Amino acid sequence: MRSHIRGFLYRCLSNRFPVVQACLVVAMMFGLVHTQYPLAGRLAVASFSVITCLLYEYTGSLPPGIAIHSLVDGGGFEHALTGNAYVVLSVYLLLAVILLTRPPLRGLGRLLTRRPVFRNSALQHG
């Protein structure tokens, strides 16, 4: 839920201010609401917020930042319960491999079956 609020706030601010200023304001606010952490922890949270704001700026999409946030929170939860974070990290790495290899494999499959690799290829040649 916080990622959505942070994303909304960042979008509002980035429409009115330069990216760096919007990132810093959101990061400061995000760090301030995490009252459960000491000052050093809040600085880490604020830094994480800057990273996710820049990720949004680069991708134009909230889901990558939400995914990273859930990875961090899930890893922290697993670590608190078990003392390690191997399961959460392994699942996220597996998902990343699947998501990153799907498009190239789909394109290879289309090449091997001689179907158009790009959707508009049939329109361009016909």
**What's the confidence (pLDDT) of residue 81?**
94
For the entire predicted model, the pTM comes to 0.66
Would 100 be classed as within a structural domain?
Answer: no
Q: Which residues of 25-56 are buried (b: 16+ CB within 10 A; e: fewer)?
A: bbbebbbeeeeeeeeeebeebbebbbebbeeb
Would 125 be classed as within a structural domain?
Answer: no
pLDDT tens-digit map of 3-49: 567 778 888 898 899 999 999 999 999 888 888 888 888 998 899 98
Residue entry with tokens 């459960």: 36
Residue entry with tokens 């079956």: 113
Residue ranges making up the domain that contains 34: 1-60
pLDDT tens-digit map of 70-92: 888 899 899 999 998 889 889 88
Would 126 be classed as within a structural domain?
Answer: no
**What's the confidence (pLDDT) of residue 114?**
76
Would 10 be classed as within a structural domain?
Answer: yes
User: How many domains is the chain partitioned into structurally?
Assistant: 1
- CA torsion sign for 67, 69, 72, 77 is negative
- Rounded to the nearest angstrom, the gap between the alpha carbon of residue 82 and the centroid of all alpha carbons in its chain is 25
Would 82 be classed as within a structural domain?
Answer: no
Q: Judge whether residue 120 has pLDDT over 80.
A: no
Would 110 be classed as within a structural domain?
Answer: no
**What's the confidence (pLDDT) of residue 109?**
78
The CA distances from residue 103 to 58, 72, 110, in Å, are 20, 26, 11
